[in-house]
């Protein structure tokens, strides 16, 4: 196994853990890639790695929430092939699918209309460091969460806007969406479930976009790093999801801020003044 594959494993594990922990996988990868000098544009090792970790983290979410995913797929198929009768039978599941679609729209619009501007932010580790600090401060706000409520159309849209903000490196997708849900009064378990189910179309969309943008990226030589990277991200993602749900049930989401704040400040000082 050569150095490049070892690097894929290290970065894939980081991605798998930080994709679900509210500490920003993209922010960590921008900073690590700047430190290691591994960031590349276009087809190549960098793109293969991104495809691999998207496959791995997507698989982790689907397996972890397999009961919910299967129920939603059954409802969708019943509604398509059985018409109104199928829809009435799975009304609650179809409503949830509607909430996921609504929550996906803001990130989809930002991703399509401002793709180049967003992509440019991934070249700035100092910006990522500042956004890690912003994420930490936002997580601290979970200590001010409001009275318990339930997920509705308005809260789904606002959580979707939070997901759109989290496209920026350093803004944790899980951190911003779960925190937003909690501040809107959604319960811990429901906020986490919606956040991670909402990530499925987001991750899938990013994966498809990469494959369409660089159709020649996959080749015989890329199979080994692709499979190894996807497996590493998948296993790390499952571990992270299990740990995070346990932390959420104890109301400890804000504790991740105690990691993000010093790391973000240190990274900003290094890249802004020393590098």
pLDDT confidence of 211, banded at 50, 70, 90? confident
Give mean pLDDT, residues 232-246.
Answer: 91
Say which range, 34-43, 65-74, 109-118, 193-202, has the weakest mean pLDDT.
Answer: 34-43
* Residue numbers of the domain that contains 191: 3-274
- Residue 182: count of CB within 10 angstroms of its CB: 26
Contacts of 149 (CB under 8 A, 6+ apart): 155, 184, 185, 186
Evaluate if residue 224 carries a pLDDT over 50: yes
pLDDT at residue 262, rounded to an integer: 97
pLDDT confidence of 17, banded at 50, 70, 90? confident
pLDDT at residue 163, rounded to an integer: 95
Task: Tell me if 185 sits within 8 A of 149, measured CB to CB.
Answer: yes
Counting residues of the chain whose pLDDT is more than 90, the rounded percentage is: 50
Give mean pLDDT, residues 89-102.
Answer: 94
Question: Which stretch, 15-19, 52-56, 254-258, has highest mean pLDDT?
Answer: 254-258
**Tokens 């956004």 correspond to what residue?**
131
pLDDT at residue 206, rounded to an integer: 77
As beta bridge partners, residue 186 has 149
Judge residue 239's burial from the number of C-beta atoms within 10 Å of its C-beta, 0-12 exposed, 13-18 middle, 19 or more buried: middle
Buried-state track 131-148, b at ≥16 Cβ within 10 A, e below 16 = bbbbbbebbbebeebeee
Number of folded domains that form the chain: 1
pLDDT confidence of 43, banded at 50, 70, 90? very low
Evaluate if residue 219 carries a pLDDT over 70: no
Give mean pLDDT, residues 233-261.
Answer: 91
């Amino acid at each position: 196994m050569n150095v490049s594959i070892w690097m894929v494993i290290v970065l894939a594990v980081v991605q798998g853990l930080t994709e679900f922990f509210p500490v920003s996988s993209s922010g960590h990868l921008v900073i690590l890639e700047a430190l290691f000098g591994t960031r590349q544009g276009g087809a190549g090792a960098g793109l293969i790695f991104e495809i691999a970790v998207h496959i791995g983290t997507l698989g982790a979410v689907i397996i972890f929430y397999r009961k919910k995913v299967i129920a939603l797929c059954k409802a969708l198929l019943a509604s398509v092939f059985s018409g109104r009768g199928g829809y009435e039978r799975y009304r609650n599941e179809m409503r949830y699918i509607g909430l996921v679609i609504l929550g996906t729209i803001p990130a989809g619009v930002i991703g399509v209309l401002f793709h180049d501007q967003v992509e440019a932010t991934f070249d700035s580790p100092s910006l990522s460091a500042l956004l890690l600090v912003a994420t930490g401060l936002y997580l601290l706000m979970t200590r001010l969460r409001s009275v318990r409520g339930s997920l509705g159309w308005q809260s789904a849209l606002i959580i979707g806007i939070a997901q759109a903000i989290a496209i920026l490196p350093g803004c944790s997708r899980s951190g911003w969406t779960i925190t937003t849900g909690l501040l809107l009064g959604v319960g811990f378990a429901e906020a986490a479930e919606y956040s991670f189910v909402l990530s499925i179309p987001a991750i899938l969309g990013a994966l498809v976009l990469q494959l369409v943008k660089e159709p020649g990226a996959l080749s015989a030589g890329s199979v080994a790093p692709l499979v190894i990277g996807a497996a590493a991200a998948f296993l790390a993602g499952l571990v992270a999801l299990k740990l995070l749900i346990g932390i959420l049930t104890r109301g400890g989401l804000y504790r991740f801020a105690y990691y993000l704040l010093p790391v973000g400040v240190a990274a900003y000082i290094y890249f802004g003044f020393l590098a």
